[in-house]
Structure 1
């Protein structure tokens, strides 16, 4: 009877939640779109192009009407849950604004096309032919007709705004205050109230019961309790590292297909041969895994398990149980049924409880205030205690709400959170956590589209910042960068802001890039916010909203059975897209695409018609190993900002005319050609980052050219590369060199490169590296991070390194000959030494002979042996 009542309450709660909140949340992203669009209409290139076509007056009037509508959008956003008519009005605005954005972007395309023709057309008949437009008169009439239609629709919805009694709010006053970043997967000092739980689970894992070869310990609890965080604390504990020579971590989520789980387990284990398991069949996978597990006691973490099919679990368990006594599987799950099914005969589930009020309040204060600042605001602390009570002991709820109030001292803002009506709702097992929804509501409007884009990533995805920020830039979610900034810098600021609100987990800043995870409840919220506009399409559910603009397609054959909306802006295929019919449909039907990610597809070539996608700004063909050629029409994509060809090992050469991609900012190249087109690349004045990988036939780079605007250079796996002219790239911020064994690292320079300004240097797997090259001294006042790994002949770091006063982070991994750090490294804040056994002995706390050199450093990691402790997720494949 009690279960029946409980189930009825959950159903009622779910109905209340989804009927009280708006049915379509995508309209809340309108204010940011309006701001972006009005800014574009004021763009000089748009004004010039529209004047040339005689429609400047129409656009000016359109801008004025949009400004009127924008003025009431923030008020409408707050009131939309009270009126279905208001929600419908916002839906109409969304459609007309999207159509208007396509028109404005068309003018930007026209301006870029003319710039290319004017730059290269006078001396190249081919360029004039490549970029020849359709009949100018027809184009002018078509644009004039479309603008007139947009203007009339805008005027109608603008007139309707008076029906709702909306107030004019021109400025979004919500701001984000960013706190200092951290550099750790899970910092124990940031986890409150879980030490007792940690010790209990460690005891369960270290205790061998009845000589079992394999036992399972499930951690069970509702979403937001911190099960994964607790598992990470256990996983990283020194006693666990000593007991289990082999540790593996796999995020399972909804994917319990045997083959996929086996691949992820193997990918999380040490892999000295760099084997790519994705090409193995299931029989090969299970043999490989059993061979790896047979020789040592292991700990396997299966994080976020939902599978309730006993047959699937038994099938996996039979493969894993290889008879090594004392091996353990640690499981995190929300489901008691899953825990009961998976646990072994003598093991019990560990039920994780909510935080106590005392611990919840401590976590809230730590999130909402700088250290010690809370004592200045006793009145806010009293309100905070009431807010904490409403969070029900869920750490995720406490942390996100505390973070949303960080450094805010206005009593009314705290009272607004405490008294909000959303607390009258309750979370069900897969519902929206009210505290997270409140934290989202407090985001400034410019961050909301970025947050909504997280709905494109399946649960358990490990996301790299460079991919997501370039996607945001391609979709127009980022404002234009300021002077001396790049679009990646702007995107990184947005990520920092979202991290400061506790929406991102395991945020690690590498200097040149960062990566993070998303809690599944955060993804649930983003899916709810973006429903109808951003969607993941699985094979079992082919229903695509007619208004969808951004799609992740999980089945590479799915498009043959699904209708693709013509309004699509984003198509992301993490598992590849392997039918030519699909690609032809995309380039023919979806002419407004901005982002096209065809990772690991099987095409040998692309259709020439891809050059028709004039709005395309992001094209990724990474790891398309069958790709042999690109049509020259790719170079008609003058709007393109990102082109990724990394891992295209059969690509014979780059297309002719790559210099025409005048808007290109990020370029990744793998090619077989030896005559590298560096002069054409030097013509790409917007280029900010260049990645050259697996180009074994290239012997020298950048002779006689300049790349003054390049900020990031990555040279990887170029086995034939011997020389690089660093005078061509002295304005770099980030330099990464990996697996280029023939490269002369001194670059022929006897001393430093004057005026260089490196901020991050990463040197990996370079047997020729004995000490740092002299030219690095030129970055005396700028170098922030230095990372060296797998360089077996590295013996020392030069004494002058201690004079680099801005060097905050130093990481040396798997360099066995490296024996000593320089003296006087007083400015260092983060030190990581892994796989350097002799040096680790000398640096042991209190007793090591060189301990005095590092005793002042805030964060120190010392590991004698290189331990693989990555928490295996599905990585965003860009």
Structure 2
């Protein structure tokens, strides 16, 4: 499935070649014309990649051609990244002032003339390979399709027939949908009710049971069932609706597909209006994929001729589509209960009543049911796979294997949920594949994956005023809207979520040629794997690692020095190195050779005492995480040379930071200072113009905030800083404050809110106050926070009330108060004295120990 990522790879490559840094480097090296030719050749190949992807399954030679394209694309990308590295190195040398000669010696790794000749040779070689492959594209009869909106194969067309006895565990859902259909629509002639959920959840089956329920016949004299799938063209859709209406009326007058040319859209519209006019109808639009709002509005307007109370029931996998189509609340379908899941599985795995003969198989079956996550289609797939089989080993094989390793038919669970992947735009496919590097049930936080996407160049450049984190967040919301992510929770700029087990299996399946999660001792590392994740320490070094590796995620408590040295010397194109919670006391100097490295995560390395200064040769490094390195004596010398650094997370034993060095990190957007107990002052007077997020956590001796940084940030987190006062030494508000998120926890010195916070009255979105034992009141001016959406107050025992005009906060939708005895008592729902002041807020959660059961 790696070929699915080629279109996105080609797009990002073309963008990178056109960048100013690469153009300047190519001119300096004398390969500008060659590079332009490479860009043009890649554009020619890109134009046919989408068609090649669709046709490759039936053509072995085409699959091999795509593999060759993939290899040369990645080699070309490595060369271009080398140009960028050289440009960054020169920039550091040229801006180092009086120490330029020393820096040049420190950073130079090769003779300039030798480097120029080597790069020129590589460019010409890649050009030759690309031209050869571009010429070969004519051998396959490929069509040009240079926009990522190709039609992918959908499931077979559905029908409205269902056997009620086959439907298990959906009585509650069925009644809820019926209640929504019978609900008064408030004088609207048409309302839409979407059923939303992941593939294989049984949306269509539920819609069938509702459609065929006799209790709706009287309310909806006209009922129509239309399977939309990938066909949302107005003309075809109108014909399907009319055909269904004719069948429902029992007066067949079908308009067959072959007669489409004989009826234009205007004639079809007239026919539809005549058919629906004055009738109260129920129309089911099953399996909707199109996100084209213009087309939907056009269809909806034509349907408005029905009688008042007409309804459209939609099934879709996309929350975005549901939101686009919906005039009522959509219905998000959940998985079956454990008990109902077992019933479905037993129905498909055994002849009726025979399950009682096989108690041992039933026990294994219960474990198989667990991996299905409540998806009826998964239960049917695995049950059918074991039908009439009583060999315990066969059942254990199904239990112990990921579902993508099991045989599948076209209408089984893996092909069903893979449809959702096939429908993804190319730029999301590689991002989704990254989930395969983490184990099942892993709890993701935004940061976990977006930094990987950024380091691997999977994210496009953000629009003006946006960050790469914003782009990453947008991608996560897109995946969530398409039902790939579950337990999705948003707090400020942070998303927390998990993957359904079968979605994780899908990620393993589609990513298997480039991404590998190594779990077993007898499992070989894939020869050309690019992204590798280890689950246990004893797997390190069991087989040689590929030289082309770009990502390696080490297991916890790793301490294999030989493997680490080999990695640093061999994998020169590495972009991502995660080495968290390990037991190394130092890292090898050879880590400075990884000039392509963009992400270095050393979080929780409690034995790490020093970092080699060679780390500061990594001018490409975007993220450096040293949080939890409790024995780290100091930051490496020359940290200011890391000019690409956007995220810096520090734990160190230093009493002061090298402010002049940190001041050079002008692209720094996220700064976290954690467990730096020896620090007394913070960052002097330096300014970081692009800083957006500042966290200060467990820094027991810091007494004041860095005033000069506050106006720049939109996210401020302060926690467990016993001596820190929020007061900045004056009472005036800071003008143009853009703070959106403020998190304050465990600040015993906080008695009241400082006046300067008034400066974020127009921007603050989320406010968290926790464990501030001496906080006595919130200022009356806090009611001027017109953008405040979420307010959380926990364990502030001296806080007795909210501002009197809290009801004046126009956008406050979520209020939580916990373990604040007097406060919780005063605002207790329906019985508290001041409950009326907050009763209008959508979500109120008040909980104190005395009210807990």
- 1:56 equivalenced with 2:35 (yes/no): no
Aligned residues: 648
Corresponding residue for residue 96 of structure 1: 72
- 1:469 equivalenced with 2:473 (yes/no): no
Aligned in 2, Cα 1:641/1:80: closer, same or farther, shift over 3 Å? Answer: same
In the TM superposition, 1:593-604 aligns within 5 A as 593-604=574-585
Structure 1 distance, partners of 2:284, 2:564, is 56
Q: 545, 570, 584: which one pairs with 1:589?
A: 570
Corresponding residue for residue 683 of structure 1: 664
| Offset of residue 598 of structure 1 | 0.2
SS in 2 for 1:461: coil
Aligned in 2, Cα 1:529/1:52: closer, same or farther, shift over 3 Å? Answer: same
The C-alpha deviation readout for 1:211-267, integer Å capped at 9, x for no partner, is xxxxxxxxxxxx98889xxxxxxxxxxxxxxxxxxxxxxxxxxxxxxxxxxxxxxxx
Corresponding residue for residue 384 of structure 1: 285
- 1:830 equivalenced with 2:787 (yes/no): no
| Offset of residue 57 of structure 1 | 1.2
Q: 303, 317, 321: which one pairs with 1:401?
A: 317
Corresponding residue for residue 111 of structure 2: 135
The C-alpha deviation readout for 1:397-446, integer Å capped at 9, x for no partner, is x9872447446779xxxxxxxxxxxx999844724533321111111111
Alignment check: 8 A CA contact 1:611 1:634 kept: yes
| Offset of residue 685 of structure 1 | 0.6
Corresponding residue for residue 116 of structure 1: 92
Alignment check: 8 A CA contact 2:581 2:606 kept: yes
Alignment check: 8 A CA contact 2:318 2:481 kept: no
Corresponding residue for residue 689 of structure 2: 708
- 1:850 equivalenced with 2:831 (yes/no): no
Aligned in 2, Cα 1:868/1:50: closer, same or farther, shift over 3 Å? Answer: farther
Alignment check: 8 A CA contact 2:713 2:739 kept: yes
| Offset of residue 480 of structure 1 | 1.2
Alignment check: 8 A CA contact 1:637 1:661 kept: yes
| Offset of residue 664 of structure 1 | 0.1
Structure 2 distance, partners of 1:792, 1:629, is 38
- 1:150 equivalenced with 2:126 (yes/no): yes
Alignment check: 8 A CA contact 1:813 1:866 kept: no
In the TM superposition, 1:307-456 aligns within 5 A as 357-358=208-209, 382=283, 384-385=285-286, 401-403=317-319, 405-406=321-322, 427-428=381-382, 430-431=403-404, 432-456=413-437
Q: Give me the CA root mean square deviation.
A: 3.2
Corresponding residue for residue 286 of structure 1: none
Aligned in 2, Cα 1:774/1:449: closer, same or farther, shift over 3 Å? Answer: same
Alignment check: 8 A CA contact 2:62 2:140 kept: yes
Aligned in 2, Cα 1:196/1:486: closer, same or farther, shift over 3 Å? Answer: closer
Aligned in 2, Cα 1:126/1:434: closer, same or farther, shift over 3 Å? Answer: same
Structure 2 distance, partners of 1:527, 1:697, is 45
- 1:553 equivalenced with 2:534 (yes/no): yes
Structure 2 distance, partners of 1:647, 1:361, is 60
The C-alpha deviation readout for 1:750-781, integer Å capped at 9, x for no partner, is 12111111000000111222322211100111
The C-alpha deviation readout for 1:495-531, integer Å capped at 9, x for no partner, is 1111111211122222142221111111111110101
Aligned in 2, Cα 1:446/1:225: closer, same or farther, shift over 3 Å? Answer: closer
In the TM superposition, 1:679-758 aligns within 5 A as 679-758=660-739
Structure 2 distance, partners of 1:818, 1:838, is 7
- 1:618 equivalenced with 2:599 (yes/no): yes
Corresponding residue for residue 773 of structure 1: 754
Corresponding residue for residue 82 of structure 1: 58
Structure 1 distance, partners of 2:201, 2:635, is 48
Alignment check: 8 A CA contact 2:199 2:417 kept: no
Corresponding residue for residue 345 of structure 1: none
Structure 1 distance, partners of 2:57, 2:6, is 15
The more displaced of 83-92 and 110-119 is 83-92
The C-alpha deviation readout for 1:531-590, integer Å capped at 9, x for no partner, is 121110114343111110001111223222121111110001242421100110110111
- 1:865 equivalenced with 2:849 (yes/no): yes
Q: 435, 441, 456: which one pairs with 1:460?
A: 441
SS in 1 for 2:846: strand
- 1:516 equivalenced with 2:508 (yes/no): no
Aligned in 2, Cα 1:173/1:641: closer, same or farther, shift over 3 Å? Answer: same
In the TM superposition, 1:182-261 aligns within 5 A as none
The C-alpha deviation readout for 1:602-651, integer Å capped at 9, x for no partner, is 11111111110000000000000110001111000000000000000000
Unmatched segments (≥5 aa) in structure 2: 152-168, 175-197, 214-224, 230-236, 245-281, 290-313, 327-376, 383-397, 405-412
Structure 2 distance, partners of 1:818, 1:125, is 60
The C-alpha deviation readout for 1:802-841, integer Å capped at 9, x for no partner, is 1111111111122222222222233201112222233223
Corresponding residue for residue 391 of structure 2: none
- 1:161 equivalenced with 2:161 (yes/no): no
- 1:37 equivalenced with 2:13 (yes/no): yes
Alignment check: 8 A CA contact 1:105 1:615 kept: yes
Alignment check: 8 A CA contact 1:174 1:443 kept: no
Structure 1 distance, partners of 2:655, 2:687, is 20
Structure 2 distance, partners of 1:706, 1:605, is 31
Q: 674, 691, 704: which one pairs with 2:655?
A: 674
| Offset of residue 847 of structure 1 | 2.4
Aligned in 2, Cα 1:53/1:744: closer, same or farther, shift over 3 Å? Answer: same
Structure 1 distance, partners of 2:728, 2:558, is 42
SS in 1 for 2:844: strand
Aligned in 2, Cα 1:642/1:400: closer, same or farther, shift over 3 Å? Answer: farther
| Offset of residue 82 of structure 1 | 2.6
Structure 1 distance, partners of 2:702, 2:146, is 56
| Offset of residue 144 of structure 1 | 1.6
Aligned in 2, Cα 1:524/1:606: closer, same or farther, shift over 3 Å? Answer: same
- 1:637 equivalenced with 2:538 (yes/no): no
The C-alpha deviation readout for 1:149-169, integer Å capped at 9, x for no partner, is 211111111111112211111
SS in 1 for 2:541: helix
Corresponding residue for residue 105 of structure 1: 81
* Structure with the larger RCO, 1 or 2 (CA within 8 Å, 6+ apart): 1
| Offset of residue 139 of structure 1 | 1.1
Q: 61, 64, 70: which one pairs with 2:46?
A: 70
Structure 2 distance, partners of 1:106, 1:435, is 41
Alignment check: 8 A CA contact 2:649 2:673 kept: yes
Structure 2 distance, partners of 1:165, 1:126, is 58
Q: TM-score, normalization: structure 1?
A: 0.70
Structure 1 distance, partners of 2:571, 2:113, is 24
Corresponding residue for residue 531 of structure 1: 512
Structure 1 distance, partners of 2:750, 2:209, is 53
Structure 2 distance, partners of 1:866, 1:518, is 37
Aligned in 2, Cα 1:781/1:404: closer, same or farther, shift over 3 Å? Answer: closer
Structure 1 distance, partners of 2:852, 2:599, is 33
SS in 2 for 1:735: strand
